[in-house]
Amino acid sequence: MIGQFIYGLPPFALLALVLTSSISTSILCLFFCRKFIRIAKKEEDTNIIEIYSDAFGIAFAVLLGLLIVNSWNSYDQTNNQVRQEAIYISDLYKKSLLLHEDSRHQLRSALKTYVKDLINLEWPLLPQGEYSKKVNQDIFHIFDVLFYSKKTNAQEWFFAQQLNTLATQLNDERSSYLLNATSSITPLMWVILIISHIVSFFLLALTVRASFSLHLLLQVLYAFGTSLMLLLIIILDRPFYQFGGEISPFPLQTLLFEWEEADSLPSKAAPTSNPAFTGPI
């Protein structure tokens, strides 16, 4: 699988591979065309070559643009899902005050365990598109705590149902960004993209009528620019790949920091129920 090979490389190895292979292929295309292909000197023949080259160049540019936009939308959606997950966790933690004292402590402990395991166990697996079974167990434990929480009146039943809805939304957000952690570009699309990249080098080598040194410079600059576009697609396509712009667990880390700060403050007695509250959460 092309995607597994690409994302199995360390970031700097991937950067070096993309740049060196692209630039070297571009230079080889230039030498091949200069040595073995004799371009017609008639103006009408060169014009035909330029027409086909321009048409393919536009198609290749459109392909790159569509892939960048698609990857960027996936990256942005995944980033929002991670932030939304942190919001649901925070809401569950704060609104656990509405539960009975024993259930409140169990739920908060389960949420802390879930966030710690998510950061320490699952996050390192996301660049490879994998997930942690331990985090799955943590999610089920949160639902168990809510299901078996002590309910002595109708309001506590209502509060438990509302918290269960939040937990369901939390699980949905995690499931969504786990799906986005895998590549959305199929192996066939990678093959087409790489072949189109090489063809563009050949067409550039055929159409530029200039001195060899200037032609070589143009080939290298073109290869460098298109390599950056490919790297951008790679980074955005796998939003958790550690290349410097990956999605970080910062919102979740912030939650842990806030909870630790709150635990260090003098504790106050929390109400076991809120009979005066009758509205929605």
Residue-wise pLDDT tens digits, 172-197: 999 988 888 887 788 888 889 999 99
- Count the domains in the chain: 1
The verdict on residue 11 lying in a domain is: no
Please tell me the least confidently modeled range out of 6-15, 121-130, 160-169, 198-207: 6-15
Which of the four pLDDT bands, split at 50, 70 and 90, describes residue 3? low
pTM (2 d.p.): 0.80
Q: Helix and strand tally (H, E) in the chain?
A: 9, 0
Model confidence at 44: pLDDT above 90: no
As to burial, measured by CB atoms within 10 angstroms (0-12 exposed, 13-18 middle, 19+ buried), residue 37 is exposed
The verdict on residue 212 lying in a domain is: yes
The verdict on residue 81 lying in a domain is: yes
Closest CA to 275 of 103, 157, 156: 156
Model confidence at 280: pLDDT above 80: no
Distance (Å, whole) CA 159 – CA 281: 8
Predicted local distance difference test score (pLDDT) of residue 167: 92
The verdict on residue 181 lying in a domain is: yes
Mean pLDDT to the nearest integer, 42-50:
66
Q: What angle (nearest 5°) sits at the alpha carbon of residue 147, between those of residues 145 and 153?
A: 110
The verdict on residue 16 lying in a domain is: no
The verdict on residue 5 lying in a domain is: no
The verdict on residue 107 lying in a domain is: yes
The verdict on residue 120 lying in a domain is: yes
Model confidence at 49: pLDDT above 80: no
How many CB atoms are closer than 10 A to CB 47? Answer: 9
Query: Domain of 117?
Result: 23-189+206-262
